[in-house]
Amino acid sequence: MKILLFGGSFDPPHRGHISILKSAVQYADFDRIIVVPTGTPTHKKSCTAPFDVRMYMSQTAFGDIAANVEISDWEGTNMQDDYTYLTLQHLKEEYDNADIYMVIGSDSLFTLDSWKNADFVMNNCTALVFAREDELEDDIAAKAQKLEAMGAKIEFVKAEIISVSSSQFRREGEKNADIITDEVQNIVDEYSLYSVDETARLKGTAKLLAKLLLDEKRYIHTLNVEKLAAELGEIHGIDVEKLRIAALLHDIMKNAPKDILLHRAKQSGIINKIEDKPKQTLHGFAAADYAMRELGITDEEILWAVKSHTCGRSGMQDIEKVIYLADMLCEERCFDGKDYLLSLAKQNLDKAMFASLEHSLAFVKSKGNTVDTDSLEALEYFRARLARNL
């Protein structure tokens, strides 16, 4: 089997990427063409758009180039650092030691021998190097000869390279809209993915992520939580934009595979004994980790609101109270006592939290489920606050 591998951050995918891939597809009769957006490194956020958004844009940009094009989520879901040798290793195992051609630019050729586990990379794929006619052939040839002596397999493709970059688009945006296709531009515009206004960017990106990652029922719930959170924020004088961002992200990991959910929950920095936490509470902690690592959110109020929306905690801030209450009392929820709790939430957040926690704990106990200790501590916290205010 012959595979064409085309990797990149694709933040966003642009016309240059598309041109290169179209030329590569014509180079040989490939059985599979696999486009691999890079994941988000564990040590720092290096892309503006989260992995799942870049996956979506890549599907839009590359999906129609050929019938056998596949957009792979491997680097975004493997829960490892993203190194080319690991991706090659994965493809070799999945496709029975396939013959892999990896698309790279001439600039990458000069650094190939410095990549992580470079020997493995050079011995397990053919580097399909794209170069312009006007590039310094002597320098490229000398580097290729050196790499081939180390075991690398290199083939050159002379192509008309479109001189644009993702960083150029992020820098110039609408001043140079021709960098990306109309279809990708529509996504970027609708969700403000690269807006210089950070609030608009985070809110738009969070809304797209909710649409991409959640099932229809959970997506509608998320929009209802956003609506009620904004309403309560207006009533109580709380930052509505922060509330909208937290609401859109609070359940973002609700439909995630169990291994990814657990991995992100462990990374959240809040669970010391994860085995003691009821499983139904983990998605909030996982969502906070996702918000921090994928969107680069560092605002502690937003992160805590996402973390504590299921079980609460002692010392909750007002933004946390609103997200907890909006999650419990939003439009599609239906249970005895909801109307009373909702009216209370519009009058006094502390009273609403105490009453809502009492109701929630009683429900959990009635089902024979494990009561979260954070919820018990939250109940006592609000009991004490209300007693002091009598």
Largest CA distance in the chain: 84
pLDDT of residue 170: 83
Q: How does 40-78 read in b/e, with b if 16+ C-beta sit within 10 Å?
A: beeeeeebbbbbbbbbbbbbbbbeebbeebebbebbbbe
pLDDT of residue 271: 47
Which uninterrupted H or E stretch holds 3? strand 2-8
pLDDT of residue 244: 98
Q: Burial level of 326, CB count in 10 A (0-12/13-18/19+)? A: buried
Cβ pair 15, 178 in contact under 8 A: yes
What DSSP line would sit under 228-239, residue for residue? HHHHHHHHHT--
Secondary structure of residue 49 in the 3-state scheme: coil
At a CB cut-off of 8 Å and minimum separation 6, what does 272 contact?
none
Which superfamily, per CATH, for 195-388? Hypothetical protein af1432 (1.10.3210.10)
pLDDT of residue 270: 56
For 220-236, how does the pLDDT look when each residue is reduced to its tens digit (9 = 90+)? Answer: 999 999 999 999 999 99
Secondary structure of residue 313 in the 3-state scheme: coil
Secondary structure of residue 51 in the 3-state scheme: helix
Give the position of tokens 């529509």: 186
Q: Torsion angle of alpha carbons 229, 234, 240, 243, nearest 10°?
A: -20
Q: Torsion angle of alpha carbons 247, 250, 251, 252, nearest 10°?
A: 100
Give the position of tokens 């209450």: 325
CA distances from residue 310 to 54, 165, 277, 321, 339 in whole angstroms, order as listed: 29, 42, 12, 11, 20
- pTM across the whole model: 0.92
Q: Burial level of 24, CB count in 10 A (0-12/13-18/19+)? A: buried
Q: Which parts of the chain have pLDDT scores under 50?
A: 43, 271-272
C-alpha 310 chain-centroid distance = 21
How many Å apart are CA 335 and CA 38, to the nearest integer? Answer: 44
Q: How many CB atoms lie within 10 A of CB 186?
A: 12
% helix / strand / coil in the chain, to the nearest 5?
60, 10, 35
CATH class of residue range 2-179? alpha beta
For 209-221, how does the pLDDT look when each residue is reduced to its tens digit (9 = 90+)? Answer: 999 999 999 999 9
List the chain domain ranges.
2-179, 195-388
How many Å apart are CA 96 and CA 99, to the nearest integer? Answer: 9
Cβ pair 181, 211 in contact under 8 A: no
